[in-house]
Chain A
């Protein structure tokens, strides 16, 4: 499969648990993004001033808009979710835009998107139970009538699947189509599909993933 992530190197056999596992492009690109975001976070908050410089301005704008978005779509009592949502947004955005730098977006790998949606899935149910109490929370699955119990459970399970495959499908589509475009005409023409598949779809899917995570968690809580 030429569209699958390339295996960069294999972990030596003597490493416990992980020995013999292939490390793919997805993992190395994720490491790169982690380093970049960490360095960016460190550099931008190293000197914080009352009168913010240009870099601090940008970062403050981002933090404020994430906080506003969290408050407006989850309610003022759930401002504590803003750091998680901001992290999610930064990572997914960086991952989706990796295609512009000739890297394979880590989000075009089901392992990444499944892991991300699993965090949201756990948060939905953990915070739902925390807020309402375990018994009360599970009672809700038998509403409006007990007959709907299996259906409600399957509906809940389809949430992380649709969440992860929405991001994965969109990014994989971009990877496959860009590969074919580069095979066809590797000069000038790929700019247009890059704008649509990487820039537009990348930003849009980041936003949708974060918004849906917010809405699902706050729906389970109140």
Chain B
């Protein structure tokens, strides 16, 4: 126990030994890398969409134009999470607001890392949207007359499945531009750990994103089969997606409490 404490103390001393700019820039490099892990999502999702589309073209070769259009539309939406993560990484690399900010350097460094971690919450949305795009391409092949209906349902379902990524982006931008917890006379250990905790909480967005994408995929399938029932299908999809969003909203609440009403700092 005593030895463990010694190691942690040595680690803290080592971190605190660097000057502010070096520490924040080093942490930003890690944060940018972490943010780009989100690329897993669009990769997987677009692969899923492309796979289904290929299958669909194989079954209905004469519909290949409609199927390709739907696939590109869905794949472009599934890219959004990746682009959001790229924004955070580019801000960290080229326009880092934390370098010039007043406050404890360790907390600012932790904010950079946490912003990167938060963005990984976008993985789920991208996978889910990719699944929905794949379903859409499949059903367009089966029932090309419902193409407009299918694309509309796909857009709406995928837009809602994006919510977790957007909430993650909000938290990451707050971490970068507001630098909460950095100011004041508090223990920097707790403040830095809270900031990283807030980032970790947002990674929970993976679940709602993927789940809502699944719901969107099934709604797309349903509206392709029964285009006349689009209103009812959308209604059920939105209600289900709102319930699936619950855990993501818990995560947002925990993250905001950690950042703005932290009970641990007293």
Quote the shortest CB–CB distance from A199 to chain B (angstroms). 12
Q: Which residues of A contact B15 (CB under 8 A)?
A: none
B252 within 8 A of A: yes
A34 proximal to B (CB < 8 A): no
Given contacts A154-B249, A155-B242, whether A176 and B169 have CB atoms under 8 Å apart is: no
Whole-angstrom distance between the alpha carbons of A151 and B97 in the complex? 34
A23 within 8 A of B: no
Q: Is A207 in contact with chain B by the CB < 8 A criterion?
A: yes
Is residue A37 contacting chain B, with contact meaning CB distance below 8 A? no
Alpha-carbon separation in the docked complex, A73 to B156 (Å): 11
Is B90's CB within 8 Å of the partner chain A?
Answer: yes
Say yes or no: A219-B238 contact (C-beta < 8 A), given A158-B163, A200-B76: yes
Residue-wise interface mask of B (217-257) relative to A, using a CB-CB cutoff of 8 A (1 in contact, 0 not) = 00000000000000100110010001001100100110000
B166 to nearest A CB, angstroms? 5
Main secondary structure of the interface of A (DSSP, over half): helix
Q: Is the CB of B249 within 8 A of A177?
A: no
For A170, the closest partner residue in chain B by CB is B80
State whether the Cβ of A100 lies closer than 8 Å to any Cβ in chain B: no
CB of A63 closer than 8 Å to a CB of B:
no
Using known A-B contacts A172-B87, A211-B155, determine if residue A180 contacts B249 with beta carbons closer than 8 Å. Answer: no
> What's the Cα separation between A163 and B83 when bound, in Å?
17
A212 adjacent to chain B (CB < 8 Å): yes
A204 to B253 CA separation, bound complex (whole angstroms):
30
Docked Cα-Cα span, A176 to B94, in Å, equals 10
CB proximity to B under 8 Å, residues A1-52: 1-3
Complex alpha-carbon distance, A172 and B176, angstroms: 15
Is the CB–CB distance between B246 and A151 below 8 Å? yes
Select one of A158, A166, A208, A212 contacting B245, CB under 8 A.
A158
Type the 1/0 row for A72-83, where 1 means its CB is closer than 8 Å to any CB of B: 010100000000
B87/A173 in contact, CB under 8 A = yes
CB distance from A190 to the nearest CB of B (A): 16
B residues in contact with A173, CB < 8 Å: 83-84, 86-87
The docked-state distance in angstroms from the alpha carbon of A215 to that of B90 is: 34
List of A residues within 8 angstroms of B84 by Cβ = 169, 173
Extra A-B contacts (20), CB below 8 Å, given A176-B90, A215-B238, A219-B235: A1-B95, A2-B95, A73-B234, A75-B231, A151-B246, A155-B245, A161-B167, A162-B167, A165-B170, A169-B80, A169-B84, A172-B87, A173-B86, A176-B87, A196-B76, A204-B155, A212-B156, A212-B159, A212-B160, A215-B234
In the A-B complex, the 6 residue pairs with the smallest Cβ-Cβ separation, listed nearest first, are A165-B166, A162-B163, A208-B159, A173-B83, A173-B87, A162-B166
